Chain A
Amino acid sequence: DVKVTQSSRYLVKRTGEKVFLECVQDMDHENMFWYRQDPGLGLRLIYFSYDVKMKEKGDIPEGYSVSREKKERFSLILESASTNQTSMYLCASSQDRGLGGYTFGSGTRLTVV
């Protein structure tokens, strides 16, 4: 069964900590995405990547960075976590130029205290 795996379902971090959220997909997809999901705001795109070592800013990149050293892995980094980054984080992947949609991971619920 093909899937997108996010390393943690729940995380609690302190303000100012550096936080790594990991995402791995086993479908050989070219494209990978990081979203955050907040009530009433839907899914907002943070960063995405169309290829290894390639990254592009989404709609809300401030306070985040990403790393894609291998095709199957896309990491989201919170350089200095803040309480307003408490959210559900969703990773997704898709085929390049595919007509289909994204395959999402189960999400990581991050709480910054």
Chain B
Amino acid sequence: GQQLNQSPQSMFIQEGEDVSMNCTSSSIFNTWLWYKQDPGEGPVLLIALYKAGELTSNGRLTAQFGITRKDSFLNISASIPSDVGIYFCAGRRDGNKLVFGAGTILRVKS
């Protein structure tokens, strides 16, 4: 099936550092979404992006819908221990199905 290339695969950062991750695809998407999965739980929606070039913030999180519609990035500023988890990007071309990236595992040193 269609795949999104998400990087990095994992990150180990110091508390207080900024984090950046991204997703790319060879296909155009009409919607980009970012999810976070806490250990032992299902993914929870963090940010949704609907227009090329759109930049949206949710607290310390900022995400952008790439101008080419083939990529998106997520930034986390001033990371804290509870940021630990797996972050997934997801894209929607049309219809109701989402395509997910493989995830970025975030580990924070306290």
Residues of A within 8 A of B (CB): 4, 31, 35, 40-45, 48, 50, 58-59, 90, 92, 94, 96-107
Pairs across A and B, CB under 8 Å, 19 listed: A4-B42, A35-B100, A40-B102, A42-B100, A42-B102, A42-B103, A43-B103, A45-B1, A48-B96, A59-B1, A94-B96, A98-B96, A104-B35, A104-B44, A105-B42, A106-B40, A106-B41, A106-B42, A107-B40
Residues of B within 8 A of A (CB): 1, 6, 9, 31, 33, 35, 40-45, 48, 50, 88, 90, 96-98, 100-103
Report yes or no: A96 in contact with B96, Cβ–Cβ below 8 A. yes
> Which residue of A41, A43, A92, A105 has the most chain B CB atoms within 10 A of its CB atom?
A43
CB distance from A49 to the nearest CB of B (A): 10
Q: A40-B102, A41-B102 given as contacts; is B42 within 8 A of A107 (CB)?
A: yes
Which residues of chain B are within 8 angstroms of A90 by Cβ–Cβ distance? 42-43
Kindly state the separation between the CA atoms of A10 and B33 in the bound complex, as whole angstroms.
Answer: 28
Contact for A48 among B33, B35, B41, B97, CB less than 8 A: B97
Report yes or no: B98 in contact with A101, Cβ–Cβ below 8 A. yes
CB distance from B23 to the nearest CB of A (A): 11
Kindly state the separation between the CA atoms of A56 and B35 in the bound complex, as whole angstroms.
Answer: 24
Kindly state the separation between the CA atoms of A106 and B42 in the bound complex, as whole angstroms.
Answer: 4
Report yes or no: B41 in contact with A50, Cβ–Cβ below 8 A. no
Report yes or no: B96 in contact with A40, Cβ–Cβ below 8 A. no
Contact for A99 among B9, B41, B50, CB less than 8 A: B50
Report yes or no: A99 in contact with B43, Cβ–Cβ below 8 A. no
Which residues of chain B are within 8 angstroms of A96 by Cβ–Cβ distance? 96
Kindly state the separation between the CA atoms of A105 and B102 in the bound complex, as whole angstroms.
Answer: 18
Which residues of chain A are within 8 angstroms of B44 by Cβ–Cβ distance? 104
CB distance from A7 to the nearest CB of B (A): 14
Report yes or no: B9 in contact with A102, Cβ–Cβ below 8 A. no
Smallest CB-CB separation from B6: which chain A residue?
A: A42
Kindly state the separation between the CA atoms of A43 and B43 in the bound complex, as whole angstroms.
Answer: 10
Report yes or no: A104 in contact with B50, Cβ–Cβ below 8 A. no
